[in-house]
Amino acid sequence: ATGARCRTLPGTGDLDGVFALRDLDDSRAIREAFGAAPQRVVVVGA
């Protein structure tokens, strides 16, 4: 929803590879972080 904020789990702020996906810039950062090599990804959302 417009104006909603991402809620992150406690203790995940300093972990590598943990992202909040809110907009196009976030999705680009995620893609850049994983590169071209195959990776396993877990998406959790509501």
How many Cβ atoms sit within 10 Å of the Cβ of residue 26?
13
Q: Cβ of 1: how many Cβ atoms within 10 Å?
A: 3
Would you place residue 33 in the very low, low, confident or very high pLDDT band (cuts 50, 70, 90)?
confident
Question: What DSSP letter does each residue of 15-36 carry, written as one string?
Answer: -TT-----SHHHHHHHHHHH-S
Structural domain count of the chain: 1
pTM of the model: 0.59
Q: Give residue 17's domain range.
A: 1-46
Condensed to tens digits (0 to 9), the pLDDT of residues 7-17 reads: 777 887 778 87
Percent of the chain predicted with pLDDT > 90: 2
